[in-house]
Amino acid sequence: MKICVNIIFIVLMLPLYAGVDYNSEIQPIFNSRCTNCHSGSDAEEDLSLTSYNNVMNGGDSGDVVIPYDHANSLLWQYINSGFMPPGTNDLTDSQIDLIAEWINEGALPEPNEPMVGDLNDDGVVNVLDVVLLVNSVLNGGSADDYPQADVNGDGTLNVLDVVTLVNWVLYGDDGACIDYDGNVYETIQIGNQLWMAENLKVTHYRDGSEIPNITNNGDWSGLSTGAYGDYNNNPTNSETYGRLYNWYTVDDDRGVCPDGWHVPSMGNIQY
Ligand code: HEC
């Protein structure tokens, strides 16, 4: 029997979010180059370019911006051909391209924020997104280009994002209690409070900075900054008991608990 092995190459197709911001990037162009003729009651062709809504209301010819279609948008045609602004003071190529990009992204009033974890932009987070994320990590993708892939929000794409995303897919991202390192904790509902049912064992603050690991008993007492230890200095104990943190870690503004979770207050305990 001959077995034919197919190697399937998965093509990386992540939507790239440039996210042109109308107010800070497009309106200033109109303000400096267009509104002296396109504003107020005597606006040329009744086209006012003083605000997003006015632009989208169009002029005597109807809509001048067709979302997602710069080539069929009269406004782009006129600036691209140099007809607007009148005379020889054309917009620069990069301004024209930026307006095309804004139109092609949907001519939105503000940039469309990608949904974190939804790498293929299909509205759901599932195993397809995990495949894309693994590819992206292997190919050295950057969190700047693919913010939706930076699942733990630390500014880099690496295996921790994969661990977290796999956990989201398996456990969901609302009820699930997942820390920065990707550890998943059992939870228990008590009255109207949701508690973690296991001890914390994370080694990073929520922003990704490391919590120092102190292994020498003598060093503990002199500290005035956050640190953790393992029971008996044996990291495998953290699986059973969680890790031991000093007060400075608990009190740190960066947050030691998973996103959306907090250290219980006296009020929470006495409830
Ligand atoms: C010096 C005055 C002036 C400036 C500045 C100017 N325009 Fe115009 N605009 C006109 C005139 C005049 C018309 C009518 C042209 C015609 O159809 O013959 C017009 C028409 C238009 C139309 C067609 C509107 C419609 O409904 O038919 C668009 C789109 C347009 N301008 C966009 C722009 C943009 C974008 C800018 C800035 C980059 C700009 N214009 C700057 C004078 C100006």
Which among 260, 224, 227, 259 has a CA at the least distance from the CA of 246? Answer: 227
- What was the pLDDT predicted at 271? 65
Lining ligand 1 with CB less than 6 A are 33-34, 36-38, 44-45, 47, 49, 59-61, 64, 74-75, 78-79, 84-86, 91
Which atom of ligand 1 is nearest to 77's Cα?
A: 29
Q: Let me know whether 127 and 153 are in one domain.
A: yes
Q: Let me know whether 204 and 143 are in one domain.
A: no
Q: Let me know whether 38 and 83 are in one domain.
A: yes
The CA distance from 263 to 2, in Å, is: 60
Output the pTM of the full model: 0.56
Minimum CA distance residue for ligand 1 atom 9: 44
Number of domains in the chain: 3
* Domain around 208: 184-270
Out of 50, 80, 104, a domain closes at 104
Q: Let me know whether 192 and 252 are in one domain.
A: yes
The CA distance from 203 to 139, in Å, is: 27
Q: Let me know whether 5 and 52 are in one domain.
A: no
Give the strand pairing for 228-229 and 193-196.
Answer: unpaired
Tell me whether residue 140 is in a domain: yes
Tell me whether residue 179 is in a domain: no
Q: What is the DSSP string of 58-112?
A: -BTTB-S--TT-GGG-HHHHHHHHT-SSSSS-PPPHHHHHHHHHHHHTT--SSPP
Which atom of ligand 1 is nearest to 58's Cα?
A: 26
Average pLDDT over residues 194-211: 90
Return the number of other C-beta atoms located less than 10 Å from residue 139's C-beta.
10
C-beta separation of 167 from 117 below 8 A: no
Task: Give yes or no for residue 10 having a pLDDT over 50.
Answer: no
The CA distance from 131 to 19, in Å, is: 24
Tell me whether residue 1 is in a domain: yes
Domain of residue 127, CATH code: 1.10.1330.10
Q: Let me know whether 49 and 98 are in one domain.
A: yes
Q: Let me know whether 34 and 76 are in one domain.
A: yes
Out of 74, 104, 134, a domain closes at 104
Chain length of the chain: 271
The CA distance from 231 to 227, in Å, is: 13
Q: Let me know whether 160 and 192 are in one domain.
A: no
Tell me whether residue 112 is in a domain: no
Between the CA of 110 and the centroid of ligand 1 the distance, in Å, is 24
Which atom of ligand 1 is nearest to 87's Cα?
A: 1
- What was the pLDDT predicted at 11? 45
Tell me whether residue 114 is in a domain: no
The CA distance from 169 to 165, in Å, is: 6
List pLDDT tens digits, range 33-83: 999 999 999 999 999 999 999 999 999 999 999 999 999 999 999 999 999
Which among 135, 152, 109, 151 has a CA at the least distance from the CA of 19? Answer: 109
Between the CA of 81 and the centroid of ligand 1 the distance, in Å, is 12
Q: Let me know whether 4 and 28 are in one domain.
A: no
Tell me whether residue 160 is in a domain: yes
Helix (H, G, I), strand (E, B) or coil at 135: helix
> Which of 47, 54, 74, 94 is the pocket-test mutation for ligand 1 (most atoms within 8 Å of CB)?
47
Q: Let me know whether 132 and 158 are in one domain.
A: yes
Q: Let me know whether 139 and 6 are in one domain.
A: yes
Distances (CA, A) of 82 to 73, 79, 91, 93, 137: 14, 5, 8, 11, 43
List pLDDT tens digits, range 207-239: 889 999 999 888 888 899 999 999 999 988 888
